[in-house]
Amino acid sequence: MLTITPQTPASLVTRYLISTRFAISVGFGAFILCSLAFFHAIFSWCQLDFTTTQTDVDAVTGEYKTLSTLV
């Protein structure tokens, strides 16, 4: 026959602290990853070369004009 022993308050506190510590560490890790992804996206966007952006098509040749050829 299976007997169920009641948990002592100390074991409940230990389980709570372990689960809380685990949740905090997972949340902190997710925060760090999201921060790195955000800064990587901003840095990559700032490094774009806007002179090679295709903005318009030449009506005669059908080629793309870039900002450097439009000026």
Report yes or no: 53 and 67 within 8 Å, Cβ to Cβ.
yes
pTM exceeding the 0.85 threshold for the entire prediction: no
Contacts for 66 with CB less than 8 Å, ≥ 6 apart = 51, 52, 53, 54, 55
Cα distance between residue 47 and residue 23, in whole Å? 36
List, for residues 5-33, the tens digit of each pLDDT value.
666 667 777 777 778 888 899 999 999 99
Cα distance between residue 71 and residue 66, in whole Å? 9
- Length of the chain as a residue count: 71
Q: Is 1 a domain residue?
A: no
For position 33, what pLDDT does the model report? 96
Q: Is 8 a domain residue?
A: no
Provide the domain count of the chain.
1
Q: Is 66 a domain residue?
A: yes
Cα distance between residue 17 and residue 27, in whole Å? 15
For position 11, what pLDDT does the model report? 76
Residue 71 pLDDT level (bands cut at 50, 70, 90): very low
For position 48, what pLDDT does the model report? 61
Domain that holds residue 35: 14-70
